[in-house]
Copies of this chain bind each other. A is one copy, B any other.
Amino acid sequence: MSLSYALLSLLVDCPSSGYDLNKAFENSVGCFWKSSHQQIYRELSKLEGLGWVSVELIPQSGKPDKKQYRVTVKGQQALADWITQPADINPIKEEILIKLFVGHLVEPAVLKRQIEDHQQRHQDLLATYKLIEATSFPETSSRSQVEQCRYLTLRCGIQYAISRIDWCNEVLAYLATV
């Protein structure tokens, strides 16, 4: 159900097509949610059925028609209601932790390669987030409330990546002693 609200939260700002929403998840917004395009299209149909969004068909020259979705009053109300509901936190589900848990079944070098790879991926992610930070949220500018909230979602991504990189260093320090 959360995907519905993630889509609504993007549509509130600006009416978009499924394609646009998918793009958004691949860019800066990706640090708070992510989905495949198939799931987005399916969910948008559902939201239309609920009357939470309305659709406008926009003809384009040389490109397929665009279905532009817009949040209805009903949809906005549903979103505001949902925000006030308490939410569970995400339990950890990390493949790398399973691998570490049974790390003694393989050569230490195999484990080391896994951790290094994991760390590299988080370093790449961090670099992306830092780039977004530098380009979209320059330090000098004073931010509006909306901008500051959005910046804080990015901060979450940055902190997340850093904590993972640190943890990998902890594991690598141990593996160096084995």
Q: Which residues of A contact B (CB under 8 A)?
A: 2, 5-6, 8-9, 12, 29-34, 76, 79-80, 83-84, 86-106, 110-111, 114, 117-118, 121-122, 125, 145-146, 148-150, 152-153, 155-157, 159-160, 162-164, 166-167, 170-171, 174, 178
Contacts and interface: CB of A to CB of B under 8 A. Distances in A.
Contacts of A100: 32, 149, 152-153
B163 A92 contact: no
Number of copies of chain A assembled together: 2
Main secondary structure of the interface of A (DSSP, over half): helix
A150 B102 CA distance: 8
B170 A98 contact: no
Contacts of A29: 101
